[in-house]
Structure 1
Amino acid sequence: MNKTFFQRKEDREPQWHVIDGKGEVLGRLATRIADLLVGKKKTTYTPHTDGGDYVVLINVQDVELSGNKMENKIYTRVSGWMGGKKEIKAKDMVAKDPKSLIYHAVKGMIDQNRHRDERLRRFKIYVGSEHPHIGQVQGAQQV
């Protein structure tokens, strides 16, 4: 009889994935990235350990939103003080920093537990097609 496999920290073998965001829809792209960061599609997936991969996202400025969401979608944050509610539209968020939109979407799709910060540190976002991780992703496939 086979015993159930539980992945340990020593068993991790993270891979590097390069994803091109050009023409991709934000939600579908964020879901794919979150699955890679968590390691959900791996056969060695164990919920209580962090067995995810590294993800390099290039051309983040060309990520699209479906419908009229670029003009209508509003992101809200509240400081806790009276009158501390801040709202920003998606198009203003992209104009200010194109990376923040995809980072916010991926962060919301990852479980809020002790592994979340480590998983988000493995997520590298770049405007344009150049990135400094050429050495790590030599054998990796572009997804």
Structure 2
Amino acid sequence: MDYISYKTKYANKQSINKQWVVVDASFQPLGRLASQLAYLIRGKHKPDFTPHVDGGDHVIVLNADKIAVSGNKSVKKIYTTYSGYPGGLKRATFQEVHVAHPKRVVEHAVKGMLPKNRLGRRLLHNLHVCEGSVHPYAAQKPTSITLKY
């Protein structure tokens, strides 16, 4: 064998092994949780990580309604949405969004930590957030993991 001609092996759709994992988000800091979730969704914990391939795992987040933030972020953190029309800018604090749509808070935080391109939008489909402690993904046989903070 010619040792000079080693080729770098890149992962592709056929060679990756996607798994399903469950994470409990109750009383976890939002930012720390989101960074760990983005790490898992991206697939950076796998030895065959390839930056341009969706090689991460499907992540199920439970208890999104019990997420925590530190300091005054619950009052000072502002979420903005814009409809595209004049006067269509809406602002809401973390408390308001958390009460109305608890899943949206986690999804927004993880989305900000993924790449801002087609791959990042595709990776966001691997995030499944549930408000309570029950999820509808039992058929995928997910494994439960605890994240280190």
TM-score by length of 1: 0.91
Runs of at least 5 residues in structure 1 that lack an aligned partner in the other structure: none
| Structure 1 segment 76-115 matched on structure 2, within 5 A | 76-115=80-119
1:142 to 139, 142, 145: 145
CA RMSD of aligned residues (A): 1.5
| Structure 1 segment 51-66 matched on structure 2, within 5 A | 51-66=55-70
Could you tell me how far 1:121 is from its partner in structure 2?
Answer: 1.2
Distance 2:144 2:66 in 1: 20
TM-score by length of 2: 0.88
Percentage of matched positions with identical amino acids = 39
Could you tell me how far 1:80 is from its partner in structure 2?
Answer: 4.3
Could you tell me how far 1:141 is from its partner in structure 2?
Answer: 3.2
Distance 1:21 1:130 in 2: 13
SS of equivalent to 2:132:
coil
**What is the CA deviation profile of residues 19-49 of structure 1, one whole-angstrom value per residue up to 9, with x for unaligned ones?**
0001100000000111111101211011111
Q: Is the 8 A contact 2:78 2:91 kept in 1?
A: yes
Distance 2:144 2:60 in 1: 11
Distance 2:89 2:61 in 1: 31
Distance 2:13 2:35 in 1: 24
Structure 2 residue identity aligned to 1:88: A
Runs of at least 5 residues in structure 2 that lack an aligned partner in the other structure: none
Hey, which bits of structure 1, 4+ residues long, moved more than 4 A? Answer: none
Matched residues, number: 142
Distance 1:116 1:17 in 2: 19
SS of equivalent to 2:65:
helix
Structure 1, 12-21 or 81-90: larger mean CA deviation: 81-90
